[in-house]
Amino acid sequence: MKRCPARSAAAQEQGVNWSRTLDPGFVMRRYLIVLFIVLAGRAEADTINVLTDLLSPFPPGCVALTLPQEPASTDNLLYDEEILAPSINSGVRDARVRVTIWRMGCHEPGFSIVLLRLRKVSEDEPPVLVPQVFAQAGTVEIPQHPGQLIGNPAVGNIGATGNVIPLDGRTYMLGVDQLPAIGDSRFFPEDYNDLFTLELTWTSLVAAGSGAFELFDIPPYVPTFDPPQFESQILHGRMSGQYTFDGIPATGLQLIVGEQTDDTNFIFAIFFTYMNGRPYWLVGNTGGEAPGFPNIELGMIEFTGGEFIAAGPGSFDPGDLDQQDVGTIFIQPIDCSTILVGYDFSPLGMGTGVLEGRRDLFRIAGYDCNPWQ
């Protein structure tokens, strides 16, 4: 059955019969999906940087902590429906599952994440597996792009298909492969953020046959209805990297957001700049920050008294180093690639100000915040 979103009353009034009969393409998709992706992936290998591209159609850094448990508002809600699904080893739809779908915006303009929450309705009914998912741009009857229901941020395309749907429910991010099981279409962020068809199917998981599926029209991303998880971009590990400043050549801020053994975050920042025409660097760090902080203030320190690295081990020791407080910086993220850096270098006689840092060229390979930018 094809379902229309709560947001579109006009779509609900169309009265279209969305039932789908068994199509040869549907059968072929089931058996050719693995072979096709392997062969196509080899053909496309020269166009994908596996160190930076996670292939998700949304910025991985859009969700940094835990997934939200519900939509931000009723306007944000796309679907909240109870459907019948086949239980494990069943040939019929004999268990109820609550499906809630909404979009969550990102701080990067034009990007969002589709979130699905699956909840088994009754403990008296047999267990149900998390379904396979497929998607395709526009309104179609047989989506061909395999997807993943991703339960945790920062795990890549590791889907939950085949797990048991919990009684208390769980939220998943919807990932969609660029390459289809059959055909030559592509699925990019612009498709993901526009109208597309989503299929939840248990056909390959249970004995219920080709009728064990549901189709959903996912409307385009609307920033007014689909807000980000947090009002402001938060600092997290995917924002680590080298930030540069327009009009200030060969100068930058290296920012590292790391994790300590007690699950708190530390921040380490190094300014590479110049003083009286000579290279000059300043360092600041702090620890014990609870994950999810929207900004940070760091005291900046100048180190003197050491030797050039080529002098080798033993050329100086920690007691030879002098530390001098030279001011503070205040870091506030704007989006995955942009930060505002406020500074007060009054102790150096350099005054105060604000710079905008961009991380367009220097990112952490394999752990980028938004590989699509």
- pLDDT of 208 reads 54
- Bridging pattern class, strands 213-218 and 2-3: parallel
Neighbouring residues of 248: CB distance < 8 A, sequence distance ≥ 6: 355
Q: Are 264 and 289 in contact (CB under 8 A)?
A: yes
Compute φ and ψ for 207, nearest 5 degrees: -95, 20
- For 240-288, the DSSP string reads -EEEEETTEEEEEEEEEEEE-TTS-EEEEEEEEEEETTEEEEEEEEEEE
Q: Are 185 and 136 in contact (CB under 8 A)?
A: yes
pLDDT per residue as tens digits for the range 338-360: 999 999 999 999 999 999 999 87
Neighbouring residues of 87: CB distance < 8 A, sequence distance ≥ 6: 94, 95, 125, 126, 127, 128, 206
- pLDDT of 62 reads 83
Question: In which element (H, E) is residue 363 found?
Answer: strand 352-363
Token digits of residue 121? 């309705």
The position carrying tokens 């998390």 is 130
Neighbouring residues of 355: CB distance < 8 A, sequence distance ≥ 6: 245, 248, 340, 341, 343
Q: Are 327 and 333 in contact (CB under 8 A)?
A: no
298 Rama class: left (phi>0) / alpha (psi -120 to 50) / beta = beta
- pLDDT of 157 reads 58
Neighbouring residues of 176: CB distance < 8 A, sequence distance ≥ 6: 56, 57, 135, 145, 146, 147, 148, 187, 192
- For 128-167, the DSSP string reads -BPPEEEEEESS-SS--EEEEEE-STTS-S---TTSBPPT
pLDDT per residue as tens digits for the range 57-77: 888 778 877 888 999 999 999
- pLDDT of 49 reads 43
Question: In which element (H, E) is residue 322 found?
Answer: strand 322-335
Token digits of residue 42? 């080899």
The position carrying tokens 């069943």 is 90
Q: Are 201 and 132 in contact (CB under 8 A)?
A: yes
Q: Are 165 and 135 in contact (CB under 8 A)?
A: no
pLDDT tens for each residue of the chain, 373 residues long:
666 677 654 433 443 333 343 444 444 444 444 333 333 333 333 344 444 445 678 887 788 778 889 999 999 999 999 999 999 888 788 999 999 999 999 988 899 999 999 999 999 999 999 999 999 999 999 999 999 998 887 555 577 888 999 999 999 999 998 888 888 889 999 999 999 999 999 988 876 555 788 999 999 999 999 999 888 888 888 888 899 999 999 999 999 988 888 888 899 999 999 999 999 999 999 988 888 788 899 999 999 999 999 999 999 999 999 999 999 999 999 988 899 999 999 999 999 999 999 987 776 766 677 777 6
Q: Are 304 and 321 in contact (CB under 8 A)?
A: yes
Domains defined for the chain, CATH in brackets? 2-218 (no CATH), 237-363 (2.40.128)
- pLDDT of 81 reads 95
Q: Are 267 and 289 in contact (CB under 8 A)?
A: yes
Report helix, strand or coil for 91: coil
Residues 113 and 130: their CA atoms lie apart, in Å, by: 19
Residue 368 exposed, middle or buried by CB count within 10 Å (0-12, 13-18, 19+): buried
The residues with which 269 forms a beta bridge, in sequence order, are: 255, 284
Token digits of residue 162? 């085949």
